[in-house]
Amino acid sequence: MKNQTRFISEISSNHLNNWKRCKKFIDVSKKIGCYGIKFQLFNIEKIFSNEVLSSSKQHRRRKKWELNYKLIPKIYKYCKKKKIKFGCTPFDLEAVTFLKKYIDFYKISSYDLLRLDLIKQCSISQKPVILSTGMASSLEIFRAVKVLLQNKSKEITVLRCTSNYPTLPRRSNLKSLETLNEFLKKKFKSKKFNVGWSDHTRNEAVIYRAVNRYDSKVIEFHLDLDRKGPEFKFGHCWLPSEIERVIKNINIGYISDGSANLKYDSSELKERNWRADPFDGLRPLKKIRKTL
């Protein structure tokens, strides 16, 4: 299938730091048709200031959301076995270094697009990098992509999203995918980019539109298994049966494109004989009537 969209399941912190649950996420992501699966590797003391942690119990609770470093090699090995790409979002430089030998791609979150040091560290690894551009201005996007190109990143994917959880469809601004494509072509003429959509809507129509109208090459979506993940309550996480239907329908759409030939399909051969004969306007063709 030409131009097939790559779907990536974002697990965020719904793994509950449990190996069996991580395996289940990998199994389910493969089953529903994902190209890749993505986790996050962070330490709250390295991403939130002391002022935030000292004043916000809500942010301190996110300590339970952290993924144990010891699970990364196991996740990597199991993804290899299941033949699904493994990506991870690092939130500090140490995480970038640790992940390098285990992942197939890095993902830079919208909240870290200003961290050019983090982006540079990911790009010099020569691994594919996905940038999320929620909340960003065109100048901020330009600076981030420029760092990737300066460090010869092999494959760059730039995703649009609205960093609100969940996002209302009317706040999605899917037309900005066209603007982003043109912007990248104009500013970086010699480089080809994958442009896609990072979904926070949990709305089928939005994803269909992003793929079918705006030609998104990558769709990232948040996944939970059973409503028990800590992020499911916010309303932006898909359940497997919901997103599986979307992925299957989009893939059926690609199959239906066909060859573009103005010629009858082989499946029509029998019915061709039952067309009206030009001699008398009756069906089937005269040559067929003789065999009846």
> Is 218 in the same domain as 269?
no
Q: How much of the chain exceeds pLDDT 70, in percent?
A: 99
> Is 281 in the same domain as 171?
no
Q: Which domain holds residue 186?
A: 6-258
Residue 219 is part of a domain; what is its CATH number? 3.20.20.70
**pLDDT value of residue 83:** 98
> Is 289 in the same domain as 200?
no
In a domain, 1, yes or no: no
> Is 291 in the same domain as 245?
no
* pLDDT at position 99 over 90: yes
> Is 206 in the same domain as 283?
no
Q: Which of 253, 187, 189 is nearest to 216 (CA)?
A: 253
| Residues 175, 178: Cα–Cα separation, whole Å | 6
In a domain, 237, yes or no: yes
What is the pLDDT averaged over residues 93-118? Answer: 98
In a domain, 287, yes or no: yes
What is the pLDDT averaged over residues 226-255? Answer: 97
Per-residue pLDDT reduced to its tens digit, 164-199: 999 999 999 999 999 999 999 999 987 889 999 999
| Residues 115, 106: Cα–Cα separation, whole Å | 14
Single-letter code of the amino acid located at 154: K
Residue 2 pLDDT level (bands cut at 50, 70, 90)? low
Residue 124 pLDDT level (bands cut at 50, 70, 90)? very high
> Is 86 in the same domain as 179?
yes
**Residue 184 to residues 112, 188, 190, 220: CA-CA distances in angstroms?**
20, 6, 10, 20
> Is 287 in the same domain as 241?
no
| Residues 86, 78: Cα–Cα separation, whole Å | 9
> Is 249 in the same domain as 268?
no
**pLDDT value of residue 105:** 98
Q: What is the DSSP string of 151-182?
A: TT-S-EEEEE---SSSPPGGG--TTHHHHHHH
> Is 59 in the same domain as 162?
yes
> Is 204 in the same domain as 282?
no
Find residue 198's DSSP bridge partners: 220
